[in-house]
A = this chain, B = another copy of it.
Amino acid sequence: MAAQPADTVGILGGGQLGRMLVLAAARLGLKTHVFAPEADSPAFDVAALRTIGAYDDREALARFAATVNVITYEFENIPAATAAYLTGLRPVYPAADALAVTQDRLSEKAFLGSLGIPTAPYVGVDDAGGLARAVAQIGRPAILKTRRFGYDGKGQTMIREGSDLAAVFRSLGAAPCILEGVVPFVREVSVVAARAIDGSFAAYDVCENEHAHHVLSRSRVPAALAPATARQALAIAQRIAAALNYVGVLAVEMFVIDDPQAGPFVNEIAPRVHNSGHWTLDGAVTSQFEQHIRAICGWPLGSARRHGDVEMRNLLGEEVGQWRDLLAEKGACVHLYGKREVRPGRKMGHVTFVRSERAPVLPPNSGQN
């Protein structure tokens, strides 16, 4: 059942998350087969086997599955039917039902509610009339989000005083939505954690996140939280993972409000490696990518210990042009994703700084360390 070194891991999706999963698998002696629709997928550059295919091309999926021992994915918007089809052919982790819960914001909120985990107040919205009733219930401001296929602020819009509700609903494609109340948070944090097939669990320290235009711009570890709040955040992630019988890495995004008595509110669950865990490549004993590969292979999890206090900054769009200056910056760990085309806001790379107190031994007259 469990994979062996020299086995092949199949990965759906060829972006930077897939690329970093490939690199982590390679460290562990595994081969990888990346399946992605776009010919210029960054993960193709490092995978032993590559399939350019659509997620609904069953013939291509079957050929892909025949070459691999276990299958995973780099993002949660894989069609549920694709995951279900592949599950009949090979082990798929995280399992299709965990994917189903988390790729629909309404079922995700209901799942969290069933565990007694605080979230923003919410109401499902199926049409413009439903939106009017929902706004009457939740109040303004509130955030209307499509139930599916949202990420990085896509598929959501703020409803304020005077917003034209019918127009707002149409602007999101008149798709099934969820209306969420606004949590008056003082910090956005996330817990990145892994759960193995045997149920063991390892979480990284809580990470504090800053967003710009709905895209993560910066993460710091540890988050500036009261120890009790940090423990609550980690416990929430562990309960979610256990309840989903989850296998792999997941990230739980949370809001912390300005009330020391209140615990964190869960914003959303990402059933995959996560941008706010990129710091683990340089700042932890085991990276989130290796942790995910270990989990889906049925192997023991590694240590989630940090090497120091860490800051990670995304390089978005033209910011990647700073790469040479960043390489020269003392202690900077620079990651570039090999994307040929720079687009505004596109995730082009990231840079990590790990602050530990250890002093290096320098050679005499060393120009650089």
Contacts and interface: CB of A to CB of B under 8 A. Distances in A.
Contacts of A48: 44-46
Contacts of A327: 294, 299-300, 302
A326 B238 CA distance: 25
A48 B44 CA distance: 7
A356 interface: yes
B305 A202 contact: no
The number of times this chain is found in the oligomer is 2
A329 to B, nearest CB: 9
Interface in A281-306: 282, 285-286, 294, 299-306
A347 to B, nearest CB: 12
Contacts of A360: 205, 303-306
A331 interface: yes
Size band of the interface chain A makes with B? 35 or more
Interface in A254-276: none
B238 A366 contact: yes
Given A6-B338, A234-B364, A305 B369 contact: yes
B304 A369 contact: yes
Interface string A300-324: 1111111110000000000010011
B202 A336 contact: no
Interface string A15-52: 00001001100111111000000000000111110000
Contacts of A27: 23, 335-336
A277 to B, nearest CB: 15
Contacts of A26: 19, 23, 45-46, 338
Contact of A366 (B46, B202, B365): B202
A358 interface: yes
A124 to B, nearest CB: 32
A114 to B, nearest CB: 20
A123 interface: no
B338 A30 contact: yes
Contacts of A361: 205-206, 222, 227, 230-231, 234
A28 B350 CA distance: 10
A28 B335 CA distance: 5
Contacts of A230: 361
A203 B282 contact: no
Central interface residue in A302, A304, A331, by most chain B CB within 10 Å: A302
Contacts of A196: 368
A55 interface: no
A354 interface: yes
A281 B72 CA distance: 25
Given A46-B48, A294-B327, A302-B327, 10 more contacts: A5-B336, A22-B46, A29-B337, A46-B46, A234-B363, A285-B331, A286-B333, A302-B332, A305-B358, A307-B354
The 9 closest A-B pairs by CB, nearest first: A29-B336, A234-B363, A300-B328, A200-B367, A200-B368, A307-B307, A45-B48, A29-B338, A305-B360
